[in-house]
Amino acid sequence: AGRRSRGSWFDPCVPLSEISRDTSPDGARVRYQLPLANDQDTRFLLVEFFLARDARTDNTIVFDLEIVDSDGTVSQTPALHIKPFDFALPAEHSVPLLANIGYEDVMTHHQARGLLPWEEHQLWNDYLAILREHRIIPYDPMPAHRFDWSLYRKFVIPFYQGTVVEGNTPAPAVYFPDNPYPPGTPAAQEFDRKVTEALQRADLVDRSIRYVADEPIISDYGQIVAAAEWTRELDPGIRVLVTEPWTPSLSGAVDIWCVDIPFYAPPFLFLPVYGRGSGLYPDFQVRTSTPAYRNAPKSELWLYTCMSAQFLGYPDLFIDSSTSAHRVIPWLLQLWNGKGMVHYNMTYTYNDGNDPWLDQFAFGTNGDGTLLYPGRPDIPGIDRHRGIASLRMKILRDGLEDYEYLQIFRQRGASDQEIDETIRSVAQSALRWER
């Protein structure tokens, strides 16, 4: 747990290499190779089941696992019996989770370690498929180092529509791309208009979100109001998001208040200063939980978590935390009637020549800003360049699926009191939740 620590941690979920497969009317027998670095090396096995939506509920699926050592010794685990429910999770996710993934960081890292030019497209599609499999929507899925209109229309728009990644569904939220031109210039305005027209033609406006300011200070508020007014002029269906607690100064301009969990509840009364870069700036603001998040017609509460969660025991996405710290975040979202989530980076420690397999330390913690691993042929058990999901992503997905189960519970007739009691049996506040 520190910058200089080395060794294995139970976080990257490396897929096993299939050796053989035998099928019969009674089922299938599949053999995999489990690579170990040495005789003292240890691994954990995470078995994921994906059942068809029309799986018969009167059938029980039996799963047996045998581990065969190199000397032929067989270890048998107890059989696992899986009984499908009589309902399925919805194809379209109820909770948008927008996250940044750096195309340049990914490609630069893999290129420096043997990625060939003609492999780049497949690698990027592989990363996007992993994100969608874990219910995550990338800010910018464009397969290029800079904005390209042809790729935006032919790749990005179809990706959000759910036609790029096999077996995909439409994205619950669509990120309005960052403008590459100076604000207020004719080129910037023309860029925004063309993006809006593309979203309108694709019928994606009502899912579109414009992230106009990241953790602003008071002196930024005028620019936020101007950006919100311009966005309304483009199309009133595009929602404006800021990573900021509710403040009356921006009421009416902001549609989505995306709040760092410690700044929502239990609330800080105020922060007299705010650090940005190497400077401190006056930032007197009341930080309080308030129904004002829901007063405006389209106003929503979203959540995010980052380095501030390392204090006091807030939920987080750090490697060294318990898995319950990841899974409980969507429960808090439900507790507070929140509608979505943001995560600021999935591949932060890919950059500057760093190797995420050796060092995940950033912002005082291990794993903050990096939820993916760069699968490479030099890593034991990996035969090609590919993205590797982290255990934290899978546990967070469990929490997002819990959110869906609660929606199904409500649809099946559960009262508000039953829903509330169920949520509070798991999470009472940001600092009081079941470990």
Q: Could you list the mean pLDDT of each consecutive 10-residue stretch along the chain, which spans 435 residues? A: 48 89 87 76 80 82 86 87 88 91 94 92 94 93 93 95 81 95 93 97 96 88 95 96 88 91 68 62 59 68 90 90 94 93 95 91 92 92 92 96 94 95 95 91
**Which residue bears the tokens 């980076």?**
345
Task: Identify the helix (H) or strand (E) that includes residue 341.
Answer: strand 340-343
Spatial neighbors of 268 by CB under 8 A, at least 6 apart, are: 262, 287
The whole-number pLDDT of residue 7 equals: 46
The whole-number pLDDT of residue 188 equals: 96
Which residues are 138's β-sheet partners? 99
366 and 358 Cβ atoms separated by less than 8 Å? no
The whole-number pLDDT of residue 87 equals: 87
The whole-number pLDDT of residue 1 equals: 37
Its pTM stands at: 0.91
Task: Identify the helix (H) or strand (E) that includes residue 23.
Answer: strand 17-24
276 DSSP 8-state letter: E
CA end-to-end span of the chain: 20
241 and 256 Cβ atoms separated by less than 8 Å? yes
The whole-number pLDDT of residue 251 equals: 86
Please state, in angstroms and rounded to a whole number, the distance separating the CA atoms of residues 4 and 112: 23
Q: What are phi and psi of 265, to 5 degrees?
A: -160, 135
